[in-house]
Amino acid sequence: MQDGPGKGVMARVARVLSAVSTVALWAAGAGLVLMTAVVAWQVYGRYVLNRSPSWTEPGAVMLMSWFILLGAAAGVRENNHLGFDVLVYLLPRGAKGVLRTISDLVVLAFGAGMVWYGGQLAALTWGSTLPSLGISGAFDYLPVVVGGVLIALFALERIALRLGGAPVDQELDEAPAAGEREEAAGAAQARG
Amino acid sequence: MELWILFGVFAVLLLIGVPIAFCLGAASFAAVAYMGLPPLVVFQRLNSGMSVFSLLAIPFFIYAGDLMVRGGIARRIVAFAGSLVGHIRGGLGQVNIAASTLFGGISGSAVAEAAAVGGLMIPQMKARGYGVDYAVNVTSMAALIALLLPPSHNMIIYSISAGGKISIADLFTAGILPGLLLALALMTTAYFVARRRGYPTEAFPGLVAVAHLAAVAVPGLLLIAIIFGGVRSGVFTATESSCIAVLYALLVTVLVYREMTWRDFVHATLGAVRTTATVLLIIGTAAAFSWLMAYLKVPASLVAWMNAISDDPLVIILLLNVLMLLLGTFMDMGPMIIITTPIFLPVAQAYGIDPVHFGVIMVLNLGIGLNTPPVGIVQFVTCAVARISVWEAMRSIWPFYFAGLLVLGLVTYVPAISLWLPGVFR
């Protein structure tokens, strides 16, 4: 903990980003619960109130956009995105680091693209109004922009940490069937 | 050339370990940039691909499955299955398959099922002297039953990828008989392997015990009737039924079984976020990717190419099956369905294959790919639960592969197995 000012700053940044990632994850969880409530309300409205509210479908879809992009951004930091790791496992340690850095650069670039082009799309649709929600069409692209910011930030952090010699890839370098990561089993759901 | 960029960039990035969601996005971006189209289109497709109401069914069904595992529904179903088939040769293997069939009827995710049923059954099987490889192979292959039985979110992904014109109620119904056939084939295989290896049977607990365990499991099993009945009769849509499944799972685990703690709830919720958000992002970037494939007329070229090989539908469907089996070993199911449906379905339809039938073939075929290395997520999860390596499991999986492929062959060449039941309901 006392090896120069650079590491201290990085540790502080990592703490802040860790908090951001946790907030994103919990917000996505809250989004999931809200989505459940909104769709349940739609069924309730149709059968009990005898009229289908028109805002529930677009509302639930917009919540889902936030849910996906916040959850996927947290996934970049927690490293639980699906990939094809077989080749990387077989390589020596140095080559692994290089490929992982390239991979993070691709993620960083795509995140930046989401911010830039998502922002342009939001600007283009600023004047329009979403029917049945009554808000600006730009809100459609807001999750892409915010998700892009977080994805780029988290990818950048991984690159910086790796360059600083921190063990960011440690869990990944264990064999896939090491059998010690029960959370991995949990985290792997939905893939089938 | 555009195609080479699209597929080339994708393949290279995939091989060097870039997450699939970003491989698809970056490859689309590269192709669009090369073709001189505005890059905006990639992100517009990404956004519209994710903004589909029926996609909500994916997080909801996974969430419901997580809640059922944490809240004790899965455990009671396994106990009930144990009393039903434990006395057949290879007892705990049979229990495993029966439990997967019952749980598959309410969960729909093969990975959730492998983790849930495997987590409960594999330690028991080890303790009773079964080979760990046998336990793993029974669990991982039985997990595929969940893909075919309703509610299968993979069928929903297929319906969306096909442009949303295929009835989800029909797909759900079409999967039932193939799912039961797979269960039967696996139980038979488990029986013969168990007999050769001299595995024990469990004592039949008596009808009273069976009735008691059934009564305890009924609140969970009722969900099968609610989902299937609700969707089939049109009371609610498939998406709405997935939301009902979440509410019902909460209701049963909190009020009836009283096992769901706040901690469990948070774990299940965040777990569902972790697993589905990444999959849905893949669906978004795959939407951009498959839009480009359509723009570049990939399906039409494939039809022309297939035409040159043969004009016999039986040969074409065999080719498609082999192609999917090969591709399925390298990629996960969800992205595979999204990418290949717009290419393969037009081919299948050009040869007169019913889209509902083709959906069942595709889900079963790619499901088998979940149990084949190098990318076989169900197999990896099951091996992780059992703490053995994939290679140990692979040594004795062949009879089970054979059973799976036999069912795939039957489902492919006997359309009635899939199409008879939806016809009855229509």
Query: What does the DSSP assignment read for B292-306?
Result: HHHHTTHHHHHHHHH
Residue A185 has pLDDT above 60, yes or no: no
Q: Do A175 and B389 touch (CB under 8 A)?
A: yes
Query: Which residue, among B302, B360, B411, B421, has the nearest Cα to B158 in the 3D structure?
Result: B360
Q: Please state the pTM of the whole predicted model.
A: 0.86
**Whether B232 contacts B50, CB under 8 Å:** no
Contact B19 A26 (CB under 8 A): no
Query: B55 to chain A: which residues are within 8 Å by CB?
Result: 64
Nearest to A190 among B109, B247, B388 (CB): B109
Q: Under a CB-based contact definition with an 8 Å cutoff, are residues B5 and B30 in contact?
A: yes
Determine the distance in angstroms separating the CA of A84 from the nearest CA of chain B, rounded to an integer.
Answer: 5
B chain contacts of residue A70, beta-carbon cutoff 8 Å: 277
Q: How many other CB atoms are there within 10 angstroms of residue B203's CB atom?
A: 9
* Interchain proximity A40–B26, CB inside 8 Å: no
pLDDT for the residue numbered A172: 56
In sequence order, the 6+-apart residues with CB closer than 8 A to the CB of B280 are A64, A67, A68, A72, B50, B55, B58, B59
Nearest to B17 among A26, A83, A182 (CB): A83
Judged by average pLDDT, the poorest of A98-102, A126-130, A164-168, B6-10 is A164-168
What is the mean pLDDT of the segment spanning A167-172?
66
- Is the minimum CB–CB distance between A100 and chain B shorter than 8 Å? yes
Among A122-126, B30-34, B85-89, which range has the highest average pLDDT?
B30-34
Q: Which residues of A touch B14 (CB under 8 A)?
A: 83-84
pLDDT at B321: 93
At residue A12, the pLDDT reads: 86
pLDDT confidence band for B110 (50 / 70 / 90):
confident
Candidates B9, B16, B141, B333: best to mutate against A (most CBs of A within 10 A) is: B16
Q: Which chain A residues touch B13 with a CB distance below 8 Å? A: 103, 106
Interface of A with B in 122-151 (CB under 8 A): 140-141, 144
Is residue B328 within 8 Å of B377, Cβ to Cβ?
Answer: no
The dihedral sign for the CA sequence B190, B64, B225, B227: negative
- Reading the block at residue A119, the tokens are 């922002």
Task: Assess whether pLDDT exceeds 60 at residue B335.
Answer: yes
Nearest of B15, B46, B1 to residue B28 by alpha carbon: B46
Output the pLDDT for position A72. Answer: 94
Mutation target vs B (from A44, A47, A110; most B CBs, 10 A cutoff): A110
Contact B47 A140 (CB under 8 A): yes
Select the residue of B29, B143, B246 nearest A113 (Cβ to Cβ): B29
**Domain-by-domain residue ranges, chain B?**
39-425
- CA atoms B400, B419, B147, B288: torsion sign: positive
Question: Which of B143, B244, B332 is opposite residue A82, by nearest beta carbon?
Answer: B332
| Residue B236 pLDDT | 85
Q: Where are the alpha helices (DSSP H) in chain A?
A: 4-47, 56-78, 86-90, 93-124, 142-163, 170-173, 182-187
Question: Which pair of structure tokens corresponds to residue A14?
Answer: 């990592």
The predicted model gives A4-18 an average pLDDT of: 79
- Yes or no, beta carbons of B17 and A88 under 8 Å apart: yes
CA distance A89 to chain B (A): 10
C-beta of residue B330 within 8 angstroms of C-beta of residue B374: yes
What pLDDT score does A188 carry?
A: 43
Mutation site for A-interface testing, chosen from B9, B18, B109, B390 by largest number of A Cβ within 10 Å: B18
A84 touches chain B (CB under 8 A): yes
Of A57, A120, A176, the CB nearest to B53: A57
Place A175 in a pLDDT band, splitting at 50, 70 and 90: very low
CB of A68 within 8 Å of a chain B CB? The answer is yes
**Is A72's CB within 8 Å of B277's CB?**
yes
The model's pLDDT over B355-386, given as tens digits with 9 standing for 90+, comes to: 999 999 999 999 998 888 777 888 888 888 88
- Whole-angstrom Cα distance, residue B99 to residue A6? 55
Q: Are B21 and A121 an interchain contact pair (Cβ–Cβ within 8 Å)?
A: no
Contacts of B21 (CB under 8 A, 6+ apart): A72, A81, A82, B278, B281, B282, B284, B285
With CB atoms and an 8 Å threshold, state whether B47 touches A33. no
Phi/psi zone of residue B219: left (φ > 0), alpha (ψ -120 to 50 degrees), beta?
alpha
pLDDT of B23 > 70? The answer is yes
Q: What is the pLDDT of residue A186?
A: 42
Tokens of B282: 């893949």
Does residue B153 have a pLDDT over 80?
Answer: yes
Predicted confidence band at B142 (pLDDT cuts at 50, 70, 90)? very high
Q: Is the pLDDT of residue B157 over 60?
A: yes
pLDDT score recorded for residue A181: 38
**Is the predicted pLDDT of residue A1 greater than 50, yes or no?**
no
Q: What is the mean pLDDT of residues B98-113?
A: 81
Q: What is the mean pLDDT of residues A133-146?
A: 89
Dump pLDDT digits (tens) for B172-228: 999 999 999 999 999 999 999 998 888 888 888 888 888 888 888 888 888 888 888
pLDDT tens readout for residues A54-113: 899 999 999 999 999 999 999 999 888 877 777 787 888 888 889 999 999 999 999 999
pLDDT at B296 over 60: yes
If DSSP codes are grouped into helix, strand and coil, which group holds residue A124?
helix
Which of B278, B337, B390, B395 to probe the A interface (max A CBs under 10 A)? B278
Measured between beta carbons, which residues in chain A are less than 8 angstroms from residue B276?
Answer: 71, 190
Secondary structure of residue B191 in the 3-state scheme: helix
Q: Do A189 and B271 touch (CB under 8 A)?
A: yes
The CA-CA-CA angle for residues B274, B279, B282, to 5°, reads 135
Per-residue pLDDT band for B235 (boundaries 50, 70, 90) equals: confident
Task: Compute the nearest-CA separation of B65 from chain A (Å).
Answer: 10
Tell me the sheet residues that pair with A136: A129
Average pLDDT across chain B, whole number: 88
A97 touching B, CB under 8 A? no
Which member of B13, B51, B278 has the closest CB to residue A106?
A: B13
pLDDT value, residue A190: 38
Question: Min CA distance, A168 vs chain B (Å)?
Answer: 15
The single-letter code of the amino acid at B325 is: L
B273, A67: Cβ pair inside 8 Å? yes
- Of B143, B124, B5, B405, residue with least CA distance to A192: B143
Nearest residue in chain B measured CA to CA from A79? B19
User: Residue B279's pLDDT is what?
Assistant: 83
Question: Average per-residue pLDDT in chain A?
Answer: 83
CA distance A128 to A119: 15
Mean pLDDT of B136-141: 94
